């Protein structure tokens, strides 16, 4: 049986505690106190969008540490009946870890029968199974067992993007495409506008669309960021339409599958090759502070 990974929850601001998976740029779980945290004004539904303006989709789940309605949970963690959060379901240490989030084990109970020698190897490497024991830097708050799963229904991991998705529901097979040698047209810009309008309002998208219009007008020089953004949005629209999704309609599972497949088409890892300029990201970050 693989060892459960033990990690520390870190305090990142007064009343705010975050857990980030190894190598992640943003938190996957946030705990906060209602009295002092910046997150108190944001609902769990709003927080993913708050963290999702960096080119790489970030899935954030938040739980108040001092919410009276959470009495009996440790530390304030509910186990939802179904995965309603964007990228995780969570458990607490009062529940049998083998029953959390559908995690069933086949570990046999010994009945005393001699079945011969068994072989183990040391040291045991940590697996990719996303379960953790989290230690809080707060006196009186016990450790919590967390199991993270993907509600998108991903069946495999993208070679280039590193994202989980279902390639059979992504609007067609992965293609060998190149985002570098492209020509921006008004028709293409119109498609970008149409496609991005299905999503929540995004300052980064607005800025990048304005850049595309200036490039077409000859006012600024095209950059790799512009090329990646333009080709990604137009190709993603093609995948939506191949699935028969009406323009303007959207759901997270469809978005995840088509978004990831489009990244695979162009061999892009967003953490390395962003779809947004650093300036667009910075402006959006400044806007979020107000």
pLDDT by residue for the chain (290 residues), tens only, comes to: 357 888 898 888 877 888 888 777 667 787 776 555 454 444 544 544 444 443 333 444 555 555 544 444 445 444 333 333 333 333 333 333 333 333 333 333 334 444 444 433 334 344 456 778 889 888 777 888 887 766 677 888 899 998 889 999 999 999 999 999 999 999 999 999 999 999 988 899 999 999 999 999 999 999 999 999 999 999 999 999 999 999 999 888 999 999 999 999 999 999 899 999 999 988 887 776 55
Question: How high is the pLDDT of residue 144?
Answer: 83
Distances in whole angstroms, Cα of residue 116 to Cα of each of 4, 47, 111, 113, 227: 27, 53, 13, 9, 61
Instruction: Check: CB of residue 218 under 8 Å from CB of residue 260.
Output: no
The neighbouring-strand residues paired with 13 are: 16
Angle at 163 between CA 159 and CA 166, to 5 degrees: 90
Q: Does 121 reside within a domain? A: no
Q: Does 109 reside within a domain? A: no
Question: How high is the pLDDT of residue 148?
Answer: 74
Contacts of 222 by beta carbon, 8 Å cutoff, 6+ apart = 184, 215
Q: Does 94 reside within a domain? A: yes
- Are 172 and 225 contained in the same domain? yes
Distances in whole angstroms, Cα of residue 198 to Cα of each of 177, 201, 202, 245, 247: 24, 9, 11, 11, 7
- Are 139 and 163 contained in the same domain? no
- Are 80 and 49 contained in the same domain? yes
- Are 146 and 190 contained in the same domain? no
How far is C-alpha 284 from the geometric centre of its chain's CA atoms? 18
Could you tell me the residue range of the domain that residue 205 belongs to?
A: 156-288
Q: Does 225 reside within a domain? A: yes
Q: From CA 165, how far away is CA 175, in angstroms rounded?
A: 16
Q: Does 169 reside within a domain? A: yes
Q: From CA 80, how far away is CA 30, in angstroms rounded?
A: 16
- Are 87 and 38 contained in the same domain? yes
Number of domains in the chain: 2
Q: At what angle do helices 224-242 and 252-265 cross, to 10 degrees?
A: 130
Instruction: Tell which residue, 253, 208, 202, has the closest CA to residue 234.
Output: 208
pTM as predicted: 0.58
Distances in whole angstroms, Cα of residue 207 to Cα of each of 103, 145, 181, 252: 43, 41, 22, 23
């Amino acid at each position: 049986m693989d060892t459960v990974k033990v990690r520390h929850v870190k305090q990142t601001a007064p009343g705010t505690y975050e857990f980030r998976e190894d190598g992640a740029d943003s938190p996957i779980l946030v705990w906060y106190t209602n009295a002092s945290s910046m997150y108190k004004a944001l609902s769990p539904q709003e927080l993913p969008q708050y963290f999702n303006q960096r080119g790489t989709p970030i899935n954030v789940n938040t739980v108040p540490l001092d919410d009276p309605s959470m009495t009996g949970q440790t530390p304030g963690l509910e186990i939802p009946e179904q995965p309603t959060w964007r990228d995780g379901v969570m458990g607490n240490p009062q529940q049998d870890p083998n029953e959390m989030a559908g995690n069933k084990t086949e570990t046999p109970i010994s009945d005393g029968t001699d079945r011969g020698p068994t072989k183990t190897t040391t040291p045991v490497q940590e697996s990719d199974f996303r379960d953790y024991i989290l230690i809080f830097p707060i006196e009186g708050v016990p450790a919590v067992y967390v199991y993270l799963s993907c509600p998108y229904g991903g069946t495999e991991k993208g070679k280039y993007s590193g994202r989980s998705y279902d390639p059979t529901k992504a609007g067609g097979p992965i293609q060998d495409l190149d985002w570098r040698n492209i020509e921006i047209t008004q028709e293409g810009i119109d498609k970008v506008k149409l496609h991005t309008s299905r999503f929540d309002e995004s300052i980064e998208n607005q800025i990048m669309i304005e850049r595309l219009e200036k490039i077409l007008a000859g006012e600024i020089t095209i950059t790799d960021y512009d090329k990646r953004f333009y080709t990604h949005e137009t190709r993603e629209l093609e995948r939506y339409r191949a699935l028969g999704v009406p323009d303007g309609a959207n759901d997270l599972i469809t978005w995840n599958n088509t978004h990831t497949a489009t990244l695979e088409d162009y061999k892009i890892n967003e953490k390395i090759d962003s779809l947004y300029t650093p300036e667009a990201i910075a402006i959006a970050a400044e806007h979020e502070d107000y």
